[in-house]
Chain A
Amino acid sequence: MKSLTVLREIDPSARVAPSAVIGAYCVIGPHVTIGPDTVLHRRVCVTGHTIIGQGNYIGEGCVLGAIPQDLKYAGGVTLLVIGHRNRFGRNVTAHVGTESGGYLTRIGDGNYLMDGCHIGHDSFIDDRTTLGRGVLLAGHIRVHDGAILDDMSAVLQFCTIGQYSRVDRRVPVRRDVPPYTIFGPKGDETTPTVAGINDQGIKTARLSAQDEKELRGALADLFYNEAALATKIEQLVNLGVEGEVADLCAFCSRSLKGTYGRHREIYRGEIPPEFEQFMPGEWKAVIRRALA
């Protein structure tokens, strides 16, 4: 599909693959890289140091790579990296990272971000997640593989969303969401909490029958009474668990130790460990030089 329109502004120093489709009224800044077969619909603005992989579909009115909504940001070179085969709805916004938070915002592969999502600075979204309409992620968040955030949920800074978990609609997330659980209102409680096991998530994760049985047992045991979570984790660890259950126990104990139940609070004001894993190789040296 070749677009006939000429009304778009692509900076001459931007690196746009020949097979990428750039729609009408798009604005592409000078430090932008767009991979092959990526489609940008109308009025998409891509600024900042933004690297977009291949086969992405980016809907109308998305704004990617704008400066972060962080009062501490001083205008340094920070990145937004988007992987492959993601689908963005309309009016999705994602910001570049900040100097104090790790220089990088990253969206992995195969994610579906619906209309009006906002990905704040220094957030890391792994693969195959689904974000509903109007989901807000504040800064410094990690969303693990296969997580689902329902419409209009909002996640506070430094939270972690565990793998294959699900956050209910219109729920404010103020602490870490454990893997394979449903997070939302439970009974008469006003504060959202772990409200159940995410069956759909466990199905999607394709665990072996034995693993699934053990995981379900552990989840039911741990979250039957959250007040006793610490002792339950200790009991399970003493039994010598392994695999998914061990990961689950490690996740929960990390969250319990963190400030306000948020494990990532320990990375406040410093470079998170994901920097090594996710930062593109050629930029690592550049940023290390800037840090030195």
Chain B
Amino acid sequence: MAEISKLATIERGAKIADDVKIGPFTYIGPHVRIGAGCVIEGNVTITGKTILGERNRVFPLAVIGTSEGKGGEEGEVVIGVANSIREHATIYGGTSEAPTRIGDDNLVMIGCHIGAGAKLGNHGILINSTLIGAGAVLEDYVHTSGFIVIDPGVHVGAYTFTLGYTEINRDAPPYAMVQGTPFRVRGVNTEKLRRCGFGDSSIKALKSAFHEIYNSSGEGVDAAVLQRLLAQEDCDLHVQRLVQSVQKSLIK
């Protein structure tokens, strides 16, 4: 049996699974679907065509699914399973062609903003006050720091760590540690890779690949270098992924 506070407002039409907890003064809009095991605390607003998967936890004063107020269309948000959406986070709804998507097992910390149509992978950690612009794409295991700005439409590669106050104004490669306004590549995110079970050989290969691709100031990507790295016979799988990702952002 769902535990819904008498002081919560649930619009007719909202689909709420059996064992969901909803706190007082929370508003659930008419087109919202909430999966089993979700805990929605007090003073939360969930509107738009929002689908929450199972076992998500939404903390007080978070706002999910509001549209930016263009044309009165209801925004769409699709959220996976076991995410934690902390206090004061705002997640805007995308269009029906490009809904805002959040994968599984993410931690969206206090005061984060996820713009309309942004896509978040799995196992991401967004530290307090991370601002993600509309249509940006974050792959799996991305880890941000405080006060990060990710510009609309940019692509952040998997396993990348961004240091505090960084502005991501163009595509960021995977496996990297990035810093600065605008950002520069500072090296390989070795700690995260180790924690995720990467072998020493892969980390070593990635380190030398980063060394070849970027100069000491973390800039200057050369297409010829990328070609040469890909052509190597014993090219590591992760290096391949890195090179392909960098090539893609060069074409853009």
Instruction: Report Cα–Cα, A211/B85, bound state, in Å.
Output: 50
Which residues from B are CB-within-8-Å of A71? 107
CA distance A45 to B26 in the complex (A): 12
Contact A45 B42, CB 8 Å, known A136-B129, A136-B146, A154-B146:
yes
Contact A27 B43 (CB under 8 A): yes
Q: Report B23-55 residues with CB < 8 Å from chain A CB.
A: 23-25, 41-43
Asked whether any CB of chain A lies closer than 8 Å to the CB of B161, the reply is no
State which of A69, A91, A172 has its C-beta within 8 Å of the C-beta of B164: A172
Q: Is there contact, CB below 8 Å, between B60 and A27?
A: yes
B59 contacts A63, CB within 8 Å? yes
Q: Interface majority SS on A: helix, strand, loop or mixed?
A: loop
Contact A91 B24 (CB under 8 A): no
Q: Is there contact, CB below 8 Å, between B107 and A69?
A: yes
Q: Is B91 an interface residue (CB 8 A)?
A: no
Q: Mark B210-232, 1 if CB is under 8 A from A, else 0.
A: 00000000000000000000000
Q: Is the CB of A170 within 8 A of B165?
A: yes
Q: How far, in angstroms, from A202 to B146 measured CA to CA in the complex?
A: 30
Nearest CB of B to A71, in Å: 7
Q: Flag whether B155 is at the interface (Cβ < 8 A).
A: no
Report if A69-B24 is in contact (Cβ < 8 Å); known contacts: A61-B88, A91-B61, A152-B147. Answer: no
Counting residue pairs across A and B whose Cβ atoms lie within 8 Å, the total is: 75
Contact A43 B110 (CB under 8 A): no
Residues of B within 8 A of A93 (CB): 87-88, 110
Bound together, the chains give a CA A291 to CA B129 distance in angstroms of 35
Contact B129 A43 (CB under 8 A): no
Q: Which of A36-86 contact B (CB under 8 A)?
A: 43, 45, 47, 61, 63, 66, 69, 71
Which residues does chain A contribute within 8 Å of B43, judged by CB atoms?
A: 25, 27, 43, 45, 61
A71 to B109, CA, bound (A): 12
Name the CB-closest residue of A to B61. A61
Cα distance, A172 to B180, chains bound together (Å): 12
A223-281 CB contacts (< 8 Å) to partner B? none
Contact B87 A9 (CB under 8 A): no
A7 at the interface (CB under 8 A from B): yes
Q: Mark B1-41, 1 if CB is under 8 A from A, else 0.
A: 00001010000000000000001110000000000000001
Q: In the bound complex, do residue B61 and residue A69 qualify as a contact, i.e. CB atoms below 8 Å apart?
A: no
B-side contacts of A63, CB under 8 Å: 59-61, 87-88
Q: Kindly state the separation between the CA atoms of A266 and B110 in the bound complex, as whole angstroms.
A: 27
CB atoms of A27 and B110 under 8 A apart = no
Cross-chain contact A118 with B128 (CB below 8 angstroms)? yes
Interface positions of A (Cβ within 8 A of B) = 7, 9, 25, 27, 43, 45, 47, 61, 63, 66, 69, 71, 91, 93, 116, 118, 134, 136, 152, 154, 170, 172
A-B contact pairs, 28 of them (CB 8 A): A7-B25, A9-B24, A25-B24, A25-B43, A27-B24, A27-B42, A27-B43, A43-B25, A45-B42, A47-B41, A61-B61, A66-B87, A69-B109, A69-B128, A71-B107, A91-B88, A116-B111, A118-B110, A118-B111, A134-B147, A136-B128, A154-B145, A154-B146, A154-B147, A154-B165, A170-B147, A172-B146, A172-B163
B interface with A by C-beta (< 8 Å)? 5, 7, 23-25, 41-43, 59-61, 86-88, 107, 109-111, 128-129, 145-147, 163-165
> Apart from A27-B24, A63-B59, what 14 extra A-B contacts exist at CB < 8 Å?
A25-B25, A27-B41, A27-B60, A45-B61, A47-B41, A63-B87, A63-B88, A69-B110, A116-B88, A116-B111, A118-B110, A136-B128, A154-B145, A170-B147
